[in-house]
A and B are shown apart, each in its own frame.
Chain A
Amino acid sequence: MNGFQSYDRSPTALGTLVRSGAVYVILAVISAGFLLPLAWMLSVSLQDVRGVFAQPFAWIPPQPRWENYSDVATLIPLGRYLLNTVVVTGLVLLGTVLSCSLVAYGFSRIRFRGRTVLFALCLSTMMLPGQVTMIPLYVMFSRLGWVDTLWPLIIPSFFGSPFYIFLLRQFFLTIPREYDEAARLDGAGRFRVYWSIILPLARPALITVALFTFIGTWNDFFTPLIYINSPEHATLTLGLNMLKSQIVGTGMTQWHLLMAAACMVMLPNIVLFTLAQKYLVKGIAMGGLR
């Protein structure tokens, strides 16, 4: 409690009241500023063409056009994009959680030769900008014939990701070793300890990793932009950019449809955020406070 709270010896009741009032007013104004763009986006998405360009703009459209949302599907293969995104996100989630937890278990529970060096190496790759490896990876995937397929978006996730490995390792270190030892005495192998003891106990950390992975994959733009050319393999994020080019680039004026599409792409983030904010906040704080 050291924000703008007073620690002075005799804060008057009035002073405290004024200070709290000021905090509320400032926060309310800033929060409104943060949310206004989203509210405006929703409003534009329910206008007709004339409403979009009306001066003054009617924040609450007199006749909200919900059919804008279904009209988007006539411009782009929305269902296809959604299916691709769900497939990619689902497999990336599986790959990331499995591989990162396995690796984190190895780094946190087993003492082996070269562990310290390898873990430092793993952490140091976090600093490497993806652009350095981007071109050889593109060449490699194109030699495999995987350009314009979903594979380049999925396969790398099965080989661990340094930040999540680090996050999970830190969590595994807080689980008492006595649990492992008891299970080992009962004859359980290492994999069994990992699977039946560590994983269930690490549920909160696994959920955090899964959430970050979900958001990262769902929002990813760069990877699909590089690898996917045809609409039938596009993800929602890439498809939204294609729609944007179609509408803005050709001087069309259907901003209401573009906003409806953007709203649909943002919706999963908002739902997930509402349901799991606690885990997201914890994960971010954990990452920042090492």
Chain B
Amino acid sequence: MNLTTLLLTLVALSAAIFYTSRRRSLSKAKALGGQHHLNSLPLYYGMMACLWCALPAISVLVIWSIFDGVIIERIIVQSLPNSSELTSSELGLLINSIQNYAANPGSLTEVSDPAIIQAAERLVDLNRVNAMARALLVLIFGVIFGAIAWTRVSPELRARQFVEKVFQSLLLLSSFVAVLVTVGIVFSVLFESLRFFSVIPVTDFVFGTHWSPQTAIHDGQVGGSGSFGAVPLFAGTLLISAIAMLVAVPTGLMSAIYLSEYADRRVRAIVKPMLEVLAGIPTVVYGFFAALTVAPTIRSFLEGVGFENVSSESALAAGGVMGIMIIPFVSSLSDDVINAVPNSLRDGSYGLGATKSETIKKVVIPAALPGIVGGILLAVSRAIGETMIVVMAAGLAANLTANPLESVTTVTVQIVTLLVGDQEFDSPKTLAAFALGLVLFLVTLTLNFIALHVVKKYREQYE
């Protein structure tokens, strides 16, 4: 029985148990003289029995599905004649070809090894047995627990309280998903990074100035010393982010000031959503725009002015376009903050004879500064983590330079290039991507944490 049929059967079973339990509660109530003798509405009796049927069955199914693949694979491997002599990658290939052969035996004509064919047949067999055993167990669980619930239906049973308790636990579980995701991120990134750092020393990674992950694999050595120095990546990321902030902060801030302090409501109602469209455009579109329009324009313009050796993948193009993307981010955050400054401060300043711009510069902005800084920090963390624009418009060469006309690479670009495509999961090259991910996660987490804290503190100040 395949998964879809099993799930559908389970749904049908739960529905049947819901219906019969509801009926049972009604008939018991009738014997006593009416529905008001029931502790809960009939609906809750049905739901209670339904939950009793479905929840244990689903838990069994989930646990079974987590472990069955691994167990079947182990049985297959043990049945192979020379499995202990193979390395893990050879074993992976072998298992792959067995699985392929089992999936469609006719298609691979080259498979001649009888061991593989035998193993594949065994795999098909095991899979069938596995699916049957799984369906049987799940349905038995459903029926038994459903039947127990059905027999327990009685007018005194506090069915509503039970249903509400389950409901509340499910809600709690859902909100716990957020925590699980964080834990998942930390563990997945940290675990792989630790494996990476067991091969490459942390100091080489953090302070090394030479980045060329390719060479480490070609030489057959485990990570040539110095090839995983991430300083050029950090420098490139900072350069591009700095360019982006140079574009985004002044424009975003001035837009926010104008919109909240000068513009009348009608203009604001039109312009603000239009600026926010910039934030809704997918980053891949910005990447395309940067690579095919902005970069060639900048290049031909600068070469026309007399600069030489302007890279076609210059940091300027990627950073500039990223800045455009971040403008609405800065402006809407600053807008909120500026609007939160109490009017009494402005009125006080006007009363002393200051002009509007003087009031803004000397009173409003200083008062809003913590919030604005918080917003800018969030924007920086965004720029650092931005991927598609730099993947498409920035280069791959890890140059250690501060010249915005040269090509630099960033942490996110390297993560993508290291992980896209098929490669072994255990090589230091792949693990390096996780180490970079760890750095990225820690940096953005710190920035966000500080920023959110600052913004929160600031809000409290004027509330």
Co-complex (A, B):
no
Task: List chain A positions with a Cβ less than 8 A from chain B.
Answer: none
Task: List chain B positions with a Cβ less than 8 A from chain A.
Answer: none
